[in-house]
Structure 1
Amino acid sequence: MQKVWIYLENGTFLEANSFGAKGTTVGEIVFNTSLTGYQEIITDPSYAGQFVTFTMPEIGNVGVNKNDMESSTAFCKGILVRNYHHEYSNYRGESDLCSLLKEHNVLGIKDIDTRYLTKMIRDEGAMMMIASTEISDKEELAKQLAASPRIEDINYIEEVSTKEPYIHKNGAWNHQLLSYNKAVMSDKKIVVIDFGVKRNILNELVESGLEVEVVPSSFNADELIARYEAKEIGGVFLSNGPGDPLTLVKEKEEVQKLIATDIPIIAICLGNQLLSIAHGFDTYKLKFGQHGGNHPVVNNGVVEITAQNHNYNVPDSIVKIAEVTHRNLFDDTIEGVRYNNKNIYSIQHHPEASPGPHDSKYIFKQFAEMVK
């Protein structure tokens, strides 16, 4: 066991114990209210640059395994937990969480009052923090934090996106949608723009009967348009991803080229935000974001329980050019839009959520039908 010292930009200074990687790390602290799925959260590329505080007090008790990785590595800066369990008990468990954190250089902080931290973030908003197993001096930590770039100043997309195109062929591990596949198989390929795509999004797209090609965030819209006109592809998917979407100037310009055509487009999370910005409606930052697996969203009078992970949101003024299809019942923020007179549909929450909930999984069926 090793001590770790934490300094938040509001002046809070804390001491706890560490597990996982060692060192000194700066990032933005947020909280996640999910009761399960800590491995999926830690390996979600959308958490790049952030420390995740788990409100679930017991973490590590089911271990980790290779099938539940949402990406090839973990991009979050660290995690904060009340109680860490090194010994795990689960028939799917292959290793302990500490080993995963060490392998991917993620700092683990335990024996800390996560309820206190969550209430602080709720009241004061997400904020920058520094954590160190090397530096115990409060003033030195404050100095290093002040000298570090803020999360909104860093383009994490370049870090999390694939560097080369590839074909994704795996479906969802539980194969619950195989009967649907046979009914709607499309002979058209879709292209996923990887801004930090979760593996299970790709799985669900394949499971819905689509051929999936993944390309880097530095994609060329003109090439995709030419491929669509040549009937080589049937649609484009804009993925989730980390950071402030307003920093993605080049990506916005390429998306603007896409929306000027009739290519079917669907988007999730960051992709949803990029579509709004590309249409001329800038996003805004939420106070502490939406992170968890228990968020009620209403869709045409039907309530869906959804998984969420975002700090930025589409403005209400988007109603000038789009129909709002989904709203969050916690704070009435926009969760889904369909653009007027266009074959473009986007949502803010995560229908692919693993381990769940799965109320919104029909989104992938809708996109398959759009492409078909």
Structure 2
Amino acid sequence: MKYQNRKKAIILLADGAIFYGKAVGNKEGTSFGEVCFNTGMTGYQEVFTDPSYYGQLMVTTNAHIGNYGVAENESESDSIKIKGLICRNFSYNYSRPEANDTLENFLEKNNLLAISDIDTRALVSYIRDNGAMNAVISTEVDSIENLKKQLAEVPPMNGLELASKVSTKEPYFYGNPDAAYKISALDIGIKKNILRNLEERDCYVKVFPYNTKFEEMKSFNPDGYFLSNGPGDPEPLTDAIKAAKQMVDSNLPVFGICLGHQVLALSNGISTYKMHNGHRGINHPIKNLLTGKGEITSQNHGFAINREETENHKDVEITHVHLNDHTVAGIRIKNKPAFSVQYHPEASPGPNDATYLFDEFITNIKNHKLQTA
């Protein structure tokens, strides 16, 4: 074993529950965030670097983490975005030819605290019953009362604006300047693979900061607008909500994913709410109500839009539902080329069931061009 005498560690939940484990490697310290769990058996590097996970302590339900290492091209952003990692068995060595480093080194470079040897089955079961809540992971196992005091001061995820923490500070371009289509994308936590999917469909994308005014995005003279995924509560994003409303009113095609889906709903007067646990994994079943087909999808969200308000909205149609709990998984604006989904069509953990949504966005752009030619 690489480390014989690893430091004892704990995860302390806001309600006082404690689970015991050990620190990964020689790392010591303390980290706070909202505890959540992801049920994916693969894709941990993509999860850890997904901006949508900013501010969260990630519990991985798969028993082994790190066994296939990390690869340079599998990060969804420029750094790890989770606040801490909680797992059962941590692998210090890897056996995948495509990998170029260990997960331990990757965590170390990103200064991330990770703890292992946790009974993750018991922890996840507890979270399922009691809901997502703030927590702290720490090697300061003899300072529990002090940790409780610090934890009590951490703001809850409900009402927390986090897009500003992960969004680009300045606009930037992605793709081929001579591409057929130009897209203005609002970055409220955008993943790299979304940009790759747009580039593959002959799009040149200008990515704007989270609080950019619609007029500035319009000045790029785009063929369509994109609302990205991202972390935190959507309701505080007043600038993004206003911009989304103006995007729809412009009659240009609009596509939203995850947080962008919630922002589009809010721009139409549909409220959002914090879920008991959220959806985080790579095998969530979705039904497309327009085609009757099922999709296996990747999901990562702790908020959802109000189904009753959506059903009663005269200008909004539900297009997709989550088959586990019947939450709204997709909408479109009636008589407008605007739609969004709550899941991640750019994430393909095996099935590519949802990538057609990018093609639908391009089809909307082509049709709009024909209509206005």
8 Å Cα contact 1:209/1:368 also seen in 2: no
Distance in 2 (CA, whole Å) between partners of 1:301 and 1:24 is: 48
Q: Which residue in the other structure is 2:272 paired with?
A: 283
What amino acid is the match of 2:32?
Answer: V
Q: Which residue in the other structure is 1:17 paired with?
A: 22
Does residue 212 (structure 1) correspond to residue 232 (structure 2)? The answer is no
Distance in 2 (CA, whole Å) between partners of 1:367 and 1:356 is: 22
Q: Which residue in the other structure is 2:165 paired with?
A: 159
How far apart are residue 168 of structure 1 and its match?
Answer: 1.6
8 Å Cα contact 1:293/1:357 also seen in 2: no
Secondary structure of the corresponding residue to residue 40 of structure 2: coil
TM-score by length of 2: 0.91
Q: Which residue in the other structure is 1:370 paired with?
A: 364
Q: 1:189 aligns with which of 182, 190, 194?
A: 182
Q: 1:361 aligns with which of 355, 361, 367?
A: 355
Identify the range of structure 1 (232-241 vs 19-28) with the bigger mean alpha-carbon deviation: 19-28
How far apart are residue 99 of structure 1 and its match?
Answer: 1.2
Secondary structure of the corresponding residue to residue 267 of structure 1: strand
Identify the range of structure 1 (252-261 vs 201-210) with the bigger mean alpha-carbon deviation: 252-261
Distance in 2 (CA, whole Å) between partners of 1:159 and 1:220 is: 18
What amino acid is the match of 1:362?
Answer: Y
How far apart are residue 153 of structure 1 and its match?
Answer: 4.6
Q: Which runs of 5+ in 1 are unaligned?
A: 171-184
Does residue 111 (structure 1) correspond to residue 103 (structure 2)? The answer is no
Q: Which residue in the other structure is 1:334 paired with?
A: 328
How far apart are residue 33 of structure 1 and its match?
Answer: 0.7
Identify the range of structure 1 (232-241 vs 14-23) with the bigger mean alpha-carbon deviation: 14-23
Give percent identity, aligned residues only. 42
8 Å Cα contact 2:88/2:117 also seen in 1: yes
Distance in 1 (CA, whole Å) between partners of 2:170 and 2:181 is: 21
Q: Which residue in the other structure is 1:66 paired with?
A: 72
How far apart are residue 354 of structure 1 and its match?
Answer: 4.2
Distance in 2 (CA, whole Å) between partners of 1:249 and 1:136 is: 43
How far apart are residue 208 of structure 1 and its match?
Answer: 1.7
Moved over 6 A (4+): none
TM-score by length of 1: 0.91
How far apart are residue 302 of structure 1 and its match?
Answer: 0.6
- CA deviation map 1:76-125 (0-9, x unaligned): 11111110110100011111111111211222110001111111111111
Q: 1:122 aligns with which of 119, 128, 153?
A: 128
How far apart are residue 135 of structure 1 and its match?
Answer: 5.0
How far apart are residue 18 of structure 1 and its match?
Answer: 1.3
8 Å Cα contact 1:236/1:264 also seen in 2: yes
8 Å Cα contact 1:222/1:257 also seen in 2: no
What amino acid is the match of 1:341?
Answer: N
Distance in 2 (CA, whole Å) between partners of 1:130 and 1:36 is: 25
Alignment of 1:194-205 (within 5 A): 194-205=187-198
How far apart are residue 226 of structure 1 and its match?
Answer: 4.5
Aligned length: 354
Q: Which residue in the other structure is 1:177 paired with?
A: none
Alignment of 1:1-372 (within 5 A): 1-19=6-24, 21-134=27-140, 136-169=142-175, 187-227=180-220, 232-299=221-288, 300-316=291-307, 317-319=309-311, 320=313, 321-372=315-366
- CA deviation map 1:287-331 (0-9, x unaligned): 100000011101131111000000111111113121111111100
8 Å Cα contact 1:152/1:244 also seen in 2: yes
Secondary structure of the corresponding residue to residue 318 of structure 1: helix
Q: Which residue in the other structure is 2:369 paired with?
A: none
Q: Which runs of 5+ in 2 are unaligned?
A: 1-5, 367-373
- CA deviation map 1:166-185 (0-9, x unaligned): 11229xxxxxxxxxxxxxx9
What amino acid is the match of 1:234?
Answer: D
8 Å Cα contact 2:282/2:349 also seen in 1: no
Secondary structure of the corresponding residue to residue 201 of structure 1: helix
Distance in 1 (CA, whole Å) between partners of 2:239 and 2:175 is: 29
Identify the range of structure 1 (346-355 vs 248-257) with the bigger mean alpha-carbon deviation: 248-257
8 Å Cα contact 1:37/1:354 also seen in 2: no
Distance in 2 (CA, whole Å) between partners of 1:354 and 1:45 is: 17
How far apart are residue 360 of structure 1 and its match?
Answer: 0.4
Secondary structure of the corresponding residue to residue 68 of structure 2: coil
Distance in 1 (CA, whole Å) between partners of 2:92 and 2:253 is: 47
How far apart are residue 186 of structure 1 and its match?
Answer: 6.0
Distance in 2 (CA, whole Å) between partners of 1:264 and 1:85 is: 45
8 Å Cα contact 1:256/1:279 also seen in 2: yes
